[in-house]
Structure formats: structure tokens, C-alpha cells
Structure 1
Amino acid sequence: MDYKNEYNEKLITAEKAASFVKSGDYVDYGWAGQTPVAIDKELAKRAGELKDVIVRGGVLLAVPEIFKADPNGDSFVWFSWHAGGPDRGRINNTDGGFYIPLRYSELPRLYRENSKVDIAYLVVAPMDKHGYFNMGLNASHLMAVIETADKVIVEVNENLPIALGGFENEVHISDVDFVVEGDNPPMAELPAGSFGEVDKKVAEIIVNEIPNGACIQLGIGGMPNAVGSLIAESDLKDLGVHTEMFVDAFVDLYNAGKVNGSRKNIDRFRQTYAFAAGTKKLYDFIDNNPQCMAAPVDYTNDARIISKLDNFVSINNAVNVDLVGQVSSESSGFKHISGAGGQLDFVLGAYLSEGGKSFICLSSTFFNKKTNQEESRIVPNFETGSAITVPRPITNYIVTEHGMFNAKGKSNWERAEGIINIAAPQFRDELIKEAEKIGIWRNSNKR
């Protein structure tokens, strides 16, 4: 069947696509590196004319034109499911940006049951001969957006990689209301995270805990990248990949011969992910690659699915950890940083896996520009407003450059001792005093 006629009947300009938005509408802007470009430029021209348009998205890799045209958020209010740099600026510095708390695994359900979408603007690859548009780098939750939206408008970008292997990663022309042929800009990139000596020390501890045949999830940031780099140099073999975010490190691991997926209990030989963000190297690797499996996030991040993968190893960053093992990874006080994402999902799923381990990694200290001094990331109490991303019953391994502590099965006083032992030495005595004040320290404890 030839779908070209239907395509041509639905083809409109970006200006026309932007004209459908009304004040008070809920608009979806896709995800990560796939926010609309041509439509965004046209919608930005309506700043001042429109009021209180709610625009949803997340993990922005570039600043949308609607932000630039409406810096105070009078016309366009940004609702972010997870903050990248541009999201963070909008949330922290204006009245026009807000975070939506969630577990990332629930996002498709949140759309289908709890969210209104008047118009969805989604970037897709060109239509194939069967009438399908590939969703490229972001299977994630986009099918749920499409099923929820009153009006679905796709913006075609010929440079979008074709993501194979999964499900809910394509939309048919019959389920699309209008098509815009975009300007075909290069895909927005996320530079590969750099890492230093502290990151390497943490990575060395973690890599020693990874067995051959393990299935790996890496979060974003320096420490997970350091882990990936050390794995590439190690003797490990037959590793699998099952992750929410597909990053450049996985390409390096594959090229080093470490990843083949042969021991995965499910999705064997496939690198499974919900969305991808990285450099052109990553995008070229994904394009039409049968070993890369794009899947919705309610599959990739479901703890029940993760638990089916033996020896699952989850590696994620944190901002702070307190003395009983609570983990704060998304904010520092009321200053928003990122979001809950899938950290809780993977911490729980890894522990439920046969032989699985979850690692929360962080440097023991950071330099606080406000106080002009070095401070501990291990704290007796979080700063007011800091979100708890992983509650204490769920925490497994906590790792700093000073060592590793397994919180599972440990009492509060055992946790206080174990966590203080991996804090920076210069802060340990003060942390002991604080532990005594809150009643979780025993004088018989070894320091």
C-alpha cells in the first residue's frame, strides 16, 4: 500500500503547526535531543500573544526558542520530567519552570492516566514504505504521549538515527494528524562526561565487584563514565547492557569487546535502552543497528524486568548521602539539579536480581563556592529542601574514593559507622559528634 497520498494530505508548514496552540493548552515537546526545531521557532514568535501554555518535556540538550522569546515564562511554562542544563536554568532562575516528581518507570502510565495533552510535537525520522515514522533516540514514553494527545504533529528530521529492535518506538501515519518537514539540523549532542582521579578511585572499587557476564546500567556523569572506561581496560567479558539512558560509554565497551549480551536472561545479544543522549559516535552506532533495542521506559526501568537479569549491576551518582543511608540525587536544598529519574527503579531492581548489586557513588567532598570552602557530601542531615531519591531501606552499596559500604541488613548505628568510614578523614570526627547527638552512635564503635 502506498501511503504517500495520506502523507501529502497531512503535510503542513511549521507556522501552521504552531498556530494550533491556544492559551492554557498543554503541549508536549518530546524528550532530550528530539525537541522540535522548526515548530519551536514558529511557536516562539507567538510569545506575548499566548498566555499560560504548559509545555512538557525533559533532559533538554539545547535551549528552546520559546525560552529565549519568553524568559519570564508568561506565555510558556516549562514542566520538566527530568532536568538537563536548560531545564535547570528555567526551573531555578525563573517563574516559568517547574519539576514534576516521578519515578521514570511510571511515565507512560502518568501520561495515559494522569496527564492532559492538547498537542504533541514530536521529532521523527522520515516515513518508511510501510507508513511508519521511527521515534529514533527516544522510545521512552512517546507512544503514551501519542495515545493521550488530542492532536499529534510530527516534525521530520532526516538526521535522526533509526532505532531498531524494540517496541513502541514507531508511529504510523494513520495515527498522526499532521506532518511538518523540518530543517534537518544535526541532532543535539551531549558531550561525553569527563572524569578525574577521584572518579577513577571510585570506579576501581566498583569494577572489582563486577563479575563476567554481568548486565550493566550506567547513569550519567563522571563516575559512571570512569567505570565504563575501566571496564573497557579490564579483563571482564560477556557483559550485557540494560539501561534507561544509552551513552557513549556503552559504545566504547562494545568496541573493546566487553559487551555481547550472551549471558542475558532476557533480550539476549541486545543492548536495551529507553533513550539515548551523547555524541555523534553514539548516534551513528545506534542507527539501523539490530543489537540496539529501543524500548519504552515502563519496560527498561521496571524493577520486575530488571530482576530477571542475573548479576545486574546498577551504577549511579548522588549529591549527598546521610548517616543512615538515605540518598539525595536530584536537588541541593531547594536548588533543583536533575530529577528522580530511574535511580530508585534500578537500585531496587538490581537488589532483586540474582547476584545483583546497586552502587551509589559520590566524591566524599565538594568545594562550595558560596562558603568558599571544602565540604563533606556525607552529611548528618540534608539541607532543608533536598529531595530523598533513594530511601534508606532500599540503599545497597555506597561508594566514595575512601571505600565501599553495604547498607543492607545494617542497623542505624552500624550504618553511621560504615558511612563515616568512607567519608573524607577530615570530616569524620565532626560526623561522629553529629551521630552522637542524634542517637545513632555507640562509644564502643571502632573508628
Structure 2
Amino acid sequence: MLQRLDGEVRLGLPLGLGKPNRLANALYRRIRENPRRRLTLYTALSLGRPLAGSELQRRFLDPFVERLYGDYPELDYLHDLRKGALPENIRVEEFYLQPGSLLDSAPAQQNYISCNYSHVARDINAKGVNAVAQLVARNPARPGKLSLSCNPDITLDLLPMLRKRREAGETILVVGVVHDQLPYMPGDAEVDEDLFDLLVDAPGDTSTLFSTPNLPVGLQDHCIGLHASALVRDGGTLQVGIGSMGDALTSALLIRQRDNAGYHALLDCLDSRSRHAGLIERDGGTGVFTLGLYGCSEMLVPGLLALAEAGVLGRRVAARAGEPSVWLHGGFFLGPQAFYQRLREMPLEELMGIGMTGIGFVNNLYRDEELKRAQRRDARFINSAFTVTLLGAGVADQLEDGRVLSGVGGQYNFVAQAHELEGGRSILMLRSWRESEGELSSNIVWSYGHTTIPRHLRDIVVTEYGIADLRGKNDAEVIEAMLSIADSRFQDELIVQAKEAGKLPEAFELSPRYRDNTPERLREATRGLRKLLPEFPLGCDFTEDERDLLRALGWLKSKLRLSEILELGKATLDAPAPAAFPAHLQRMGLGAPDGLREELYQRLILAGLKASARQDP
């Protein structure tokens, strides 16, 4: 690469799983040691092992990380980026960050590129990218072919642009690194081997693939998923975002299909069918899926595969001439090891039903628009936000102070599509409240200093307390709908703010029906049906003891300022005896505490285990 490329190397790497880490590290080290050369990396979602934020987290994470990630090669540039130690001759520009991981990295924040996923190929081509490198898969049954596997997303959109520049005389390299564990995906993801100017395949990479373990789904998320699932129409189209709320939606759709009576009981205990009867009848449904859904999602999440195997995703769509029909179009995938294993085990003819393709096809409506409109009927684009204003603007990527949590990704693309497709709806899932270090706050606010989805594109917002249909409503109606799904502990303050701004009449009063939006009501309402709401609906990489510890650490993080000794002391007063949880303490290296500090950690863990014990149904 260095011999063929003169001057600066402007290298494009796929987001997420498809990065050839060892090649990237070798190039990074070589250029770091030679200040006469320059390197700019264009990428997204640079994946690194999770880092502990406290001593207790480290005790939990270290054994788990070692077991899960094995010999996964860490990215050298990510290590230096986290420390703010990139050399002067190397720059990293990302359009999506591993969520929350680089909030305090000045180089990452300064060189973040804010753009829609569907515009990335255009933008990095305009920056003069002169090399592209990614992991690829090989299948002995397909001689002369390779698969872009987990990441055809940007590559397929970028290649025609690079070809034009090559024809104009520019030197541009396409580099592939064969990975033996990467699933071989056919269809658009399959390319000719001679596409690559340089191919590393002697032998292929065998290192552990990066994986994302399924995280627990709590009652708050399960309730959100249940409400949202009733808006999905049989025979329609489904896009699901990343995270535990997406897993909760998947879980609810699986219950709807496998135990429809139990599903109805859950909706009724949440008062969902009575509160939202008209909307559900008009735009959703609560019956089993007989026609099936077609998936159109930038990320093939494990939940979509689970839905396909359960018969929920089964509506195949007509592809372009000469191509087989598929039940899903996706741009990239990332998930647990069991998910990769399932894809590796699937016969090639079964994999043909998964259409991994360019992100320009998935996230855009234009280009092949007639075909897409026919495919994407009754589309439900379901994503998450961490804040929504009373006027319906969504926040999902950036804090008020400008620091980026993650990125816009494709969320705006899908929201815009929902407004353009006949029968389409955008659904933003939102936890109505949060608790951090013992402080409660509302995620529904009067205003916020940044928006990802502007209020003129507001559509449907779902919290654990219900559904707010905002489309076409005036501002006062939107505010009332948002108040109806807000936590009751914050409703009065929000009403005052809206009235002070002149957006609600002075005589306005919220219906008493929505004045009992409390976690206690949800816990009581679902008590007899908790067995239908699994903590890990899509499988789990944690042992049983680790699940208990994960809940305990989550409770401690939400309740305590771990830097304050007084708070720590209060938490340990009612902790049970060590004999109650010997295996858990051993797992944390606290079975025989050495000194006062470890004794305090032991008491904290015991207090957390007691407080967070999962209740029986």
C-alpha cells in the first residue's frame, strides 16, 4: 500500500465488525514511525473491549471480557484516540462513535463528521479517499468469489465513485483481508475476487470476531416494546434500531406470535388496547402474523433473525430482475457470537433470503423508488431516543453541549421515509425517566439544545406508559399527547413550562387517567405476567451469577455517587451476610476481602445483590 500510494494515505474502513484490525494496526504503526507520511482514517463505530469506569466494574468486566473477546486484536488508533495521543501526522474522522465511549476524547469530538449514513460514501469520496480495506469471507463452494459479508453498506455505494476516479487516472487501492470466521453472505454482498488490488489470504485471519453481548431487558423497556409492537401491521415492513429497547420490541413481537392470549393479557394490564384502540385498529394490530413482515433495516440485528425463525419475518419481496426474492434487506450486521455461528451454519440457499446490500438502497427511497414503494408497504421504522421535547423533537445522538454520544446514522433517513411512504409510520421509543447517581430526571423535557429529529417530522413516540400519536396535530395537542405518556412525577413541572411559554391554555388540566404513570403501577399491573417478560429474550453470554452481579452493579450505579463515602456507608448498613452470596463474591474477587477498601466493596456488592434481586412472577 505504501509503495503504491504517494503522499497521504486516505483510508476508508467499514464501520463495526468489518474492519481488518491487524492490517489497520500495521499501517498505523508504520506511519506513526514515519512523520514524513500522513494517514487519515475515515470510518465509524471503532469497536474496542468495554472499559471499566470503577474498581467494581473492573472486577466484573475483566474475566468476562477475557472469556468473550479472546484474541480479538484491539485497534491501536482507538487506544491512542481514547487517550488523546494520536500523532500529529495521523487523523481519524468517524461519522458514528461507539455509544458514549468517546465523550471525553477531544480528537474524536473535533473530527467527528455529522452526516446521514446514506451520504457517507459521497462525502468520503469528495475527501479523496484513495484506499479501502475490509474483512471479507470465502466459501470453497464459490470459487473466484468473495463476500463483503457484514459490511457491504458503504463499500457497494462507494465503489462506482472510485471507479470513475480511477478511470480519470487516480491511483486507488481496494484491499481485502479474508477472515475464516466471517459468515459468507451471498447476493449483492458477493463480489469477484479480482475486485481487490491486494488480498491478504495466506492464511485468512482467524482471530476472535468482535461481538456485542445481549444486555438485560428491564420492565421499563419491556413495556415500551409491548406498546410499540401493537403498531406493527401484519403484511407490512419492519425496521428495528439497536439496543435493549429494540430487543424488547422483538420480544413483544415473538410473544404476539407464539402466545397471542398472553400477549393480549400483557397489553390489557398496561391498558394499551383501551387507551389506543383507534390507533391500533387503524395502523397496527394485535393478532398473529399470517402474512408476515418484510425487514428493511440498515442493521441486521439478531432480533430480526429470531423473528424470521419464528415466522414473523416471512414476507418475501420481489427483487430486481434476475435476483431471488428476500425477506430482509440490510446494510451491515453486528451481534453476539451465537448470532455469527447461526449465520455460518445456514445453508447458502437459506442465506439467499437475506439481502445484504448497499446502504443507499436500504436507507433511501429514491433510486428504484417504484420497487421500494411496492416492497415497503405499511412500513414501521422503529428507533430509540434518549430525550424528546414536549413539542415532539427527538434527541438521539448528541448532548446539549455539543459532545457526540454516537451519531445520526440512519435514523433521520428512516423518519423521512416514514413520512413519504403511503402507510408508513416513524416510531421513536423513549424511556420516560432515568435515574443516575440517585437523581431522578425526566426524558421528556420542554426544550433541549440539540435535536436529531426536528419537530416538523414528529410522528409517534412510545414510552412505557403508552403511545403519543403526534402526526398532523397542533402544538397544544402534541403537548397534551406527550404529557399523557410522561412520568407523573414530572407532569406538573412540564405543564407549568408549557403554560409559561403560552403553548397551553391557563385552564388546561391533564386527564386523571394519565396521572398514575408510575413505575409502581407498572410493576403491580404486570406482577402475574412477569414470566412472559424474559430478562434476556434473545439469549445471554453471562453466567447466572454474572446476571445477578450485572443487576447489582446497575442498581449501585443508579443509586449511588460511588465517590462519596457517606453514600457508600448508607448502602452497606442493611447488606446481607457474605454467606448469602458466596459464589458471587468469589466471582468478584471479594470472597476474602483484604483490607478496609475490599471489605467496603464486599458490602456494596451484597447490598446491590439484595436490592436488585429479580422478583418472582
- Report how far residue 281 of structure 1 moved: 3.0
- 1:423 is matched with 486
Q: Could you say which structure has the higher helix fraction?
A: 2
- Provide the aligned length of Structure 1 versus Structure 2: 420
- Report how far residue 361 of structure 1 moved: 0.7
| Residues 3-82 of structure 1 mapped to structure 2, 5 A cutoff | 17=1, 24-46=8-30, 47-50=32-35, 53-62=39-48, 63-68=74-79, 71=83, 72-74=85-87, 75-82=89-96
- 2:581 is matched with none
In the alignment, does 2:408 pair up with 1:340?
A: yes
Q: Which amino acid aligns with 1:292?
A: I
- 2:213 is matched with 191
- 1:175 is matched with 195
- 2:387 is matched with 320
| Residues 48-447 of structure 1 mapped to structure 2, 5 A cutoff | 48-50=33-35, 53-62=39-48, 63-68=74-79, 71=83, 72-74=85-87, 75-85=89-99, 88-90=100-102, 92-96=104-108, 98-112=111-125, 114-126=126-138, 131-147=144-160, 148=162, 150-165=172-187, 167=188, 169-181=189-201, 182-235=204-257, 236-237=288-289, 238-262=292-316, 264=317, 268-287=325-344, 288=348, 289-304=351-366, 305=369, 307-308=373-374, 309-333=376-400, 334-369=402-437, 372-382=438-448, 384=449, 386=450, 388-447=451-510
- Residues 345 and 26 (structure 1), Cα distance of their counterparts in 2 relative to 1, 3 Å cut: same
- 1:8 is matched with none
Deviations 1:321-378 (A, max 9, x none): 1121111110122231111111111122233333322210110111244xx5111111
Do 1:159 and 1:184's aligned partners in 2 also have CA atoms closer than 8 Å?
A: yes
1:36 and 1:198 mapped to 2: Cα distance? Answer: 38
Do 2:327 and 2:354's aligned partners in 1 also have CA atoms closer than 8 Å?
A: yes
- Report how far residue 431 of structure 1 moved: 0.8
Q: Which amino acid aligns with 1:367?
A: E
- Find the residue that maps to 1:45 and give its secondary structure: helix
- Residues 141 and 25 (structure 1), Cα distance of their counterparts in 2 relative to 1, 3 Å cut: same
Greater C-alpha radius of gyration: 2
Do 1:117 and 1:145's aligned partners in 2 also have CA atoms closer than 8 Å?
A: no
TM-score, normalization by structure 2: 0.64
- Report how far residue 268 of structure 1 moved: 4.8
Do 1:103 and 1:341's aligned partners in 2 also have CA atoms closer than 8 Å?
A: yes
Unmatched segments (≥5 aa) in structure 2: 49-73, 163-170, 258-287, 511-617
- Find the residue that maps to 1:77 and give its secondary structure: strand
- Report how far residue 37 of structure 1 moved: 2.4
Deviations 1:378-405 (A, max 9, x none): 11111x4x3x211112121011112211
Q: CA RMSD in A?
A: 2.5
* Percent identity for Structure 1 against Structure 2: 21
- Residues 299 and 365 (structure 1), Cα distance of their counterparts in 2 relative to 1, 3 Å cut: same
Do 1:344 and 1:390's aligned partners in 2 also have CA atoms closer than 8 Å?
A: yes
Q: Which amino acid aligns with 1:142?
A: T
Deviations 1:201-229 (A, max 9, x none): 11111112222222111000111110101
- Residues 175 and 127 (structure 1), Cα distance of their counterparts in 2 relative to 1, 3 Å cut: farther
Q: Which amino acid aligns with 2:12?
A: D
- Which stretch of the first structure deviates more once superposed, 229-238 or 89-98? 89-98
Unmatched segments (≥5 aa) in structure 1: 1-16
- Find the residue that maps to 2:107 and give its secondary structure: coil
- Report how far residue 26 of structure 1 moved: 1.6
- Residues 379 and 24 (structure 1), Cα distance of their counterparts in 2 relative to 1, 3 Å cut: farther
- Residues 368 and 438 (structure 1), Cα distance of their counterparts in 2 relative to 1, 3 Å cut: farther
- Residues 355 and 346 (structure 1), Cα distance of their counterparts in 2 relative to 1, 3 Å cut: same
Q: Which amino acid aligns with 2:360?
A: D
- Residues 312 and 122 (structure 1), Cα distance of their counterparts in 2 relative to 1, 3 Å cut: same
- Report how far residue 76 of structure 1 moved: 3.1
Deviations 1:77-131 (A, max 9, x none): 221121225xx5346324255321111122333344x231122222112386653
2:436 and 2:385 mapped to 1: Cα distance? Answer: 16
TM-score, normalization by structure 1: 0.86
Q: Could you say which structure has the higher strand fraction?
A: 1
1:189 and 1:154 mapped to 2: Cα distance? Answer: 21
1:115 and 1:142 mapped to 2: Cα distance? Answer: 15
- Find the residue that maps to 2:216 and give its secondary structure: coil
- Report how far residue 59 of structure 1 moved: 2.0
2:158 and 2:416 mapped to 1: Cα distance? Answer: 27
1:179 and 1:315 mapped to 2: Cα distance? Answer: 38
Do 1:33 and 1:187's aligned partners in 2 also have CA atoms closer than 8 Å?
A: yes
1:315 and 1:270 mapped to 2: Cα distance? Answer: 18
Do 1:321 and 1:327's aligned partners in 2 also have CA atoms closer than 8 Å?
A: yes
